[in-house]
Amino acid sequence: MQKTLRIKLPKGKRVAVSLGIDLDGQTIWEGAYGMTSPAALAYGEFGAEVGTPRLLDLFDKYKIKTTWFIPGKTADTFPDACKEVIARGHEIAHHSYYHRNPANMSYQEEEAVYKKALDSLARIGANNIRGYRSAYWDFSPNTLKIIEKLGIKYDSSLMANDFYPYYPRTMEVREDGGNIFKETSNIVEFPPSWWLTDFPFIAHTPGKLENMRPTEELYNRYVSNYDYAANKCPNSCWCLTSHPQTMGRAHEIQMYEDLIRYLESHGAWFATMGEMYDACYSEDDK
Ligand SMILES: [Zn+2]
């Protein structure tokens, strides 16, 4: 059975909330779509140099510290924007180097890419990285083993739960019968969700991603999803993923502020994922 964890909350709080930010910069267009045109690069530049300062100011206003997942290439391309995130007291986590899907990488290639990313993060002053998020929220069969070897303590990519952290397991896939769970990892998984993110629903890249949805649709889904966690799932976590290139846009960031106010008034404990990791306990330990 899946082994889950609970989160010890400060008195009066109902859910641990991670407002994690993926500062992809230009890598999402390069890594996902293979686009390096000036227009595509400009979308990423907006995220790093316009959206990021807006989000940092908003977090300062509400005294929120969160976790920023930054690809190594973004740290190399936009070092000043990334250093500002550190200067404002946020946690930095690993988000690959090129933002390429690791699913079909060889062990050696994947390990080399992750080491390269750690070197880039160290150059902007981010050391002792404890968290990892894969590009596309996808894994290769070796990902867990590699990140554990690199000293990573928690991941936020897999969705075998929604409101409780858990220990992910490797699996043997069989064609002639049931699949078999193998080793349980020591990595703690904080599940993100395709329904708790912004980019796929509000970004627009002609010919690639054309799905501009109304801002209130996101808000309503986020609130409804959060309410379930707050009302039905004690000592749980709620992990939202936002991107400066989308949530940093004027209409979205005003909705985001409304959302922060809603969460704040409904029992959210805003925490970095590192703080959530430190607050985890097993039901067996009680
Ligand atoms: Zn990303």
Give me ligand 1 centre to Cα 95, in Å.
Answer: 7
What pLDDT sits at residue 286? Answer: 56
- Which H helix or E strand runs over 259? helix 250-265
Give me ligand 1 centre to Cα 135, in Å.
Answer: 5
Give me ligand 1 centre to Cα 2, in Å.
Answer: 27
Domain that holds residue 91: 3-285
φ, ψ for residue 149, nearest 5 deg: -60, -30
What pLDDT sits at residue 284? Answer: 76
pLDDT, tens digit (0-9, with 9 covering 90-100), for 54-111: 999 999 999 999 999 999 999 999 999 999 999 999 999 999 999 999 999 999 999 9
- Non-local (6+) Cβ contacts of 278 within 8 A are none
Give me ligand 1 centre to Cα 138, in Å.
Answer: 11
Give me ligand 1 centre to Cα 209, in Å.
Answer: 15
Give me ligand 1 centre to Cα 232, in Å.
Answer: 30
Residue 113: CATH number of its domain: 3.20.20.370
pLDDT-flagged residues of the chain (< 70)? 285-286
Give the total number of structural domains in the chain.
1
- Non-local (6+) Cβ contacts of 3 within 8 A are 166, 167, 184, 282
What pLDDT sits at residue 213? Answer: 93
- Which H helix or E strand runs over 85? helix 79-87
CA distance 142 to 165: 21
Give me ligand 1 centre to Cα 234, in Å.
Answer: 29
For the whole prediction, is pTM greater than 0.75? yes
